[in-house]
């Protein structure tokens, strides 16, 4: 078994149309557990920015830090492996996130992954709350909507700059109560695209708001557990 350093820098990537605020309850717990935290606001509003530019923003925020654990939620999963290929990452974690294939355009994920076949829609705010925010306190739902941003989809049809999967140990944290990404779909996606079995946690899609301590403690465990000898170096 191979071991990492005791402390990590957790690089937290938010989902689509959102901000680093999503992680504001998780970050203090990670720091309490002895880690550094970098929570990035992706420049998602700008039509000039595609996946490559969003990844560049995360890389810049990392600076010269080492012992990096890249953590992505939801749509941020399309950015995370590009970041992991550009920085000295030691761990890559998808939290109920989209998993891209090399060369796949962001907008193509929905059909290529089979997600569109689920028939899940969220055209209204009421439906969004039902799908994304189950288990989240009402005041945090209100605050989340207050921090939301319009996301540009102008370059969503461009292939991802990811040419090959980064040689970084990769985990997927499935949320058992997720209505946006149902567990059955998530397990199939992880099996097809990563070839691994996901870790699981209670909570809905916005688990960082509904169960922040449990999420932070699970991320800590994923970091501190010994690396398997079969993991990429």
Supply the CATH number for residue 19's domain.
Answer: 3.40.50.1820
In the predicted structure, residue 134 carries a pLDDT above the cut 70:
yes
Model confidence at 227, pLDDT cuts 50, 70, 90, reads low
Structural domain that includes position 149: 9-224
CA distances from 107 to 49, 104, 125, 160 (A): 14, 8, 22, 10
Q: Is residue 3 part of a domain?
A: no
Q: Is residue 231 part of a domain?
A: no
Exposed/middle/buried for residue 129 (C-beta within 10 Å: 0-12, 13-18, 19+): middle
Dist CA 13 CA 94 (whole Å): 10
Cβ–Cβ contacts within 10 Å for residue 151, how many?
Answer: 17
Model confidence at 123, pLDDT cuts 50, 70, 90, reads confident
Q: Which two tokens stand for residue 180?
A: 């946006």
With CA atoms as reference, report the closest residue to 159 among 96, 101, 117, 90.
101
Q: Is residue 2 part of a domain?
A: no
Counting the structural domains of the chain, the total is 1
Q: Are 176 and 202 in contact (CB under 8 A)?
A: yes
Q: Which two tokens stand for residue 201?
A: 């946690």
More confident position, 38 or 231: 38
In the predicted structure, residue 173 carries a pLDDT above the cut 50:
yes
Q: Which two tokens stand for residue 150?
A: 């319009």
Please state the pTM of the whole predicted model: 0.94
Dist CA 197 CA 195 (whole Å): 7
Model confidence at 226, pLDDT cuts 50, 70, 90, reads low
Q: Is residue 229 part of a domain?
A: no
Mode of pairing for the β-strands spanning 199-201 and 170-175: parallel
Model confidence at 122, pLDDT cuts 50, 70, 90, reads confident
């Amino acid at each position: 078994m191979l071991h990492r350093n005791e402390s990590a820098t957790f690089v937290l990537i938010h989902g689509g149309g959102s901000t680093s605020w999503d992680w504001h309850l998780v970050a203090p717990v990670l720091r309490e557990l002895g880690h550094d935290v970098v929570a990035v606001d992706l420049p998602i509003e700008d039509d000039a920015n595609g996946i490559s530019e969003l990844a560049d923003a995360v890389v810049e925020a990392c600076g010269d830090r080492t012992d990096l654990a890249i953590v992505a939620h939801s749509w941020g999963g399309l950015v995370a492996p590009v970041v992991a290929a550009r920085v000295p990452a030691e761990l890559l974690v998808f939290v109920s996130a989209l998993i891209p294939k090399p060369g796949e355009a962001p907008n193509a994920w929905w059909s290529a992954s089979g997600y569109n076949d689920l028939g899940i829609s969220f055209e209204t705010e009421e439906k969004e709350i039902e799908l994304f925010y189950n288990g989240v306190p009402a005041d945090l739902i209100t605050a989340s909507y207050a921090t939301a941003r319009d996301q540009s989809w102008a370059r969503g049809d461009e292939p991802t700059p990811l040419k090959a999967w980064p040689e970084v140990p990769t985990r997927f944290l499935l949320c058992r109560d997720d209505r946006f990404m149902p567990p059955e779909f998530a397990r199939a996606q992880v099996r097809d695209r990563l070839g691994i079995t996901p870790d699981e946690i209670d909570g809905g899609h916005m688990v960082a708001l509904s169960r922040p301590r449990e999420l932070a403690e699970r991320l800590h465990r994923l970091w501190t557990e010994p690396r398997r000898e079969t993991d990429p170096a």
